[in-house]
A and B are shown apart, each in its own frame.
Chain A
Amino acid sequence: MSIFGRLRFSSQGAFRSDVLRSELEEEMRTHIDQRADDLEAQGMSRREAQRQARVEFGAFERFREESQDALGGRLIRILLEDLRYAVRQMRKSPGFASIAIVTLALGVGAATAIYSVVDAVILEPLPYIRPRRIFVPRTIAKEGYQQPPSWPGYEDMRAQNRTFSALAGYTDYTNTDLQTKSGPVVLDLVASTANFFQVFGVEPILGRTYRLDEDQPGKNNVAVLSYDVWKSNFGGDPNVVGAKFDLDGKPYACIGVMPPGFMIKGDRHAIYTPIVVPRRRLNDRGYHWVEVIGRLKSGVSVERAQADMNHVMSDLGRAYPGTDRGRRVELISIAEDTYGDQSGGIWTLVGAVLAVLAIGCVNLTGLLLARSIRREREMALRTAIGASRRRVIQQVLTENLVLAFFGATGGIAIAWLLLIELRGFLISAVARGANAHLEWKVLLAALLLSSVTSTVAALTPALRLSGTDPNSALKAGGNTGTSTAQHRLRSAFIVTQVALSLLLLSIAGVLLRSIAGYRNEKLGFDAHHILTAEIDLSSARYERRNVWADFYQPLLERIRSLHGVEGAGLISRVPIQQGGGVNEQIHISGQPPYPPDEVTLAEMRLVSPGYFDAMGIRLIRGRMLSSGVDLANNKAGSIVVNQAFVNKYIPKPLDPVGQHLDDASKADLKTEIVGEVTNVRQDLIGKGVSPEMDWLYTELDPRDLNTNLMSTHLMVRTLGNPRVIVPELLTIVHRLDPTAPIRQPQTMEEAISDSLVMQRMESWLFGIFAAIAILLAVVGLYGLVSHEVELHTRDIGVRMMLGATRGSVLRMFLRRVTILLGLGIGSGLALTVATQKLIQSVVDMQIVHESGLLLISAIILMLMGLTAALIPARRAASIEPMDALRAE
């Protein structure tokens, strides 16, 4: 018979089994009737004949089933039968079904969402060729802090090393203005040496990348576009290679386009040009700014490369002891460089997810165990009728599959929702967070895990039951002794769940508190009323002009005259939003030399007149900087310093005003401290306020002034909501310079939230986890107590007959619940202490200090647990003794 014929029979057997069955039965009955006819003809009575024929036929049911099986499609038919049965069962107990499904959905959904994030952020390979061969030589100054190389330093590293096939230098922290038809657009600029793309090994999709001589002057007006820039700023034009455009007013030609997904440090929207080293930096070994990245030669190990590079560094140290002594290098994999320290936090999140999944599985197991006890009788009956053991087990499995299926659907929905929320957080915080998408493999894996767990949970009693002697189970009041064992198991589950819930709740609590703490930190300025915006100008436009007089001075004047504005100024680096890191070694004249290992840095900022006023910074001593007094052609520069600076560098009896920095050899050229101002925090997360010194922009000589003011940040203080002035601000800027884009106007409050993004996400997540855990634990507790009440209905009836009051019954149950909860909370506390090290990677949590929080968490759990148990306990207390005894 052809395959189609067989298929037809199989599908008939599977899907039209009812029809088939009735046809078969009809045929077999006809057979019996015909035999009866013959027997009747032989003289039997009709009834006798019918009976005889029936007996002769044999086991009707068995032959019918065998015939149906012979036709094929058996497995599917059975599966369908089981499915229908399972769905019927679920509809009969919707409470159980919905709780089970929700449990599964929550566990699976949460697990999937987090894993998807982890996968996108950490596990997915970076978009380069063989990324494990790419390393960042992180240079460390002799004082022990990280400091990038100077330009000549980089060149020496490149020339003298023997282990890198390509070592490129670049900057990725500057912007460039692209002039488009619709106005100026700011792009992130990655300016690099010509061998940059060799490090990554990725081929462009259009055109080419740099030739090795294209970082030389005269040849370096070429640019490579990232995919995103090509699509959004050049319209995805396939003929873009050769196109000419202006960057910062200078002409460039496009030579190639990189594939989608290629990016450096998570920045997709970049344009790549050869680096132009400012002339005075070409030989300056004291100015540190070059980012370095390289690819190891094949066959070279990391250890060898690091040793080789450190050899170079010590050679440089000997050759240039003034600037390069004591510098060394650590090779960091590009993965570590890109992700930074976030991996620690993320792995802890993974731990939390597993905890939720575990709680979910445990809960499900408990539910299924309880249910199987209730179905003992049903199972026994079926075995008695003749269902094979295999069949019973098969049925249990199918029921589980149905649960798993619905749980999966719910899980997908939850994971999807969670991911939407998470992506919003992640985009700002983590380089590759935007890539987080639903990972189907993970969903299936989580589903598999929970299905397996629940199947095992359901099978154990099923196995036991299908082998049960039907009699014992069918007997009235038959509680087979092992239900006590299962009860104990369920109690153990509850204890575990409560413990885990406490752990999660505590972590969430600490996180929330630390965020509140950060927000309330004394910042030194009023975040609610200050707006910041970045301004990037085209250098070509201001080449022969004084950018301060022509643009910024009128800009600030006009802004200050706006209604509602209390102050406006400029600063080279915005507090909190950009953090710290632009700093320099200093030494106060007249002080003893500082110990060589001590970190003697001070943050350096350039500010405009009006900045301090805009930020609300007050003068403590001395005088403010002034553009009338602190002139560019003064011999020495003037700075104001903050309180942190004074605390660290000016010993007590001395007055900071009048002190000098040792930044020149001749005394009258040394920078003078003219005033002390109040602190402003540079970094939100970290060790407090750093020492800082501020110069006026206008103290710079005109050429430096122009260069430095190409990109700066506006700070504006308003009376009311800062956002209100944004449109007027944009108009003012546009009128003064139509080609100047203004980027990211943001209130300082938003900046703070942004910098706390990771913490906020973590606390949000842990909060959700804690909520889920508590919910599951409470539900489990409710189920357990309900079940206990059911089990002991008779006993309670008897007790009441013997004189127990309702109150004492209630107390009895509540006492047991309290013990359970107590055990759970106790284990939870022990767990918290035990895993303290692990928790530290997420949040700074000292158990001793957190006793208050832990106490609150414990109380919350206790209350919730008792409430959940109260409902069934009250039911127990309200049992009518006579009914109880009569039942069963």
Chain B
Amino acid sequence: MGADAARGIEQVFRAEHGRLVAGLIRRFGDIDLAEESLGDALVAALQTWPEQGRPPNPGAWLATTAANRAIDRLRRESTRDARHSEAFAMTVNRPDPLLEAGALTEQDGAVTDDRLRLIFTCCHPALAPDARIALTLRLLGGLTAAEIARAFLVPEPTMAQRLTRAKRKIRTAGIPFRVPRAADLPGRIDGVLAVLYLIFNEGYLATVSGAPVEQDPGRDASARDDSGRDESPRDESPRDGSLRDDLCAEAIRLTRVLRTLLPDEPEVTGLLALMLLIRARRPARLRDGVLVPLDEQDRRRWDRAGIGEGHDLVRACLHRNRPGPYQIQAAINAVHTDAATPADTDWAQIVALYDQLRAVHPSPVVELNRAVAVAELDGPAVGLALVEPLALAGYPAWHVTRADLLRRLDQRDEAAAAYDRAIALTGNPAERAFLRRRRAGIDGGAGVGT
């Protein structure tokens, strides 16, 4: 069989994976069984489709085949603890509040609900954050443990164990396969969005040190571009590099799926817009392995389609008038991407949006990013006065911001010291290279060696 044919089948499989595994979990009440029988179905597809042609409805073919394989496995494995599976199946088959409320028809509900149930299960607060990310990518994204391991720069056995433990916890603690009840829904949706944003950030910021990316909404909306592709020697292979961007694409894809499943939740739309707008600027963020700040980017390299869609989504959110942190951050990014040149940037509107953001999501990082915008309006001295008192000594962007403001105020020694501190704290080589260049541009002050 040709490589193209195999790849084509695997693409279909990946695209359908979430829907298929969710349906199998609902039917059989066992994640491992669902995964294994789906794997069997893929093998069968690779064997029969090239000869017999692709079936008219590949998803249905895979679903039926996988279900048959699952039944076969259950019959063969007579030692499987039937009571235990049954107990989980009981959890699964409880009446679903959404179905009962008629929000989804029985017909659509059977397909739509399952992915929604699965996404809430994978992102359950009782699971560790690492586990939620791994499980979401594995079950909904259809990535293999090896692919997830490579994307997060951990050894494959570590990632495999993380997945095994997560599934075991779901079983033993009795994490149910259901959509949360209405009272819990807002908090649980926030949890899902946080997981998706973590996945996106992992693919986008690609920290070398492996330290978790700070999950603060204010950070990524800053006027300063934080970083681009990870250029460290480990990631020089194009496969790893493209896999990191694949994570961004996967995060966006899953957020789109979530949006079709929860069309009335504006924060889901807000997150999608935010991701699209950030990613649209990616082509302009690096030049020769050095980070290019927002005000120096070649805006012709921005992805216009991504920006167009992001702007449309932001407008849709404004109409809903149920603002939230992701929507506000998306709006901030939209103000930037709306400007033809840096000088056209509507900084007053950005400050106003940060005022909104700090009201719903106060944090020192939001204050920091707001100060950057204020500096553009009222000058670096005013901005610096807002930045200094923030308790962010361990946060590289704080030092970078201080350094930049001090440089603009011609306080060279202090600026040099701040750049040195920022360089010491920054793991990303592209960003480091940028900071060194800025540092070298300052006269006076003995610097850390380039």
Say whether A and B bind each other: no
A contacts, CB < 8 Å to B? none
Chain B residues in contact with chain A, CB under 8 A? none
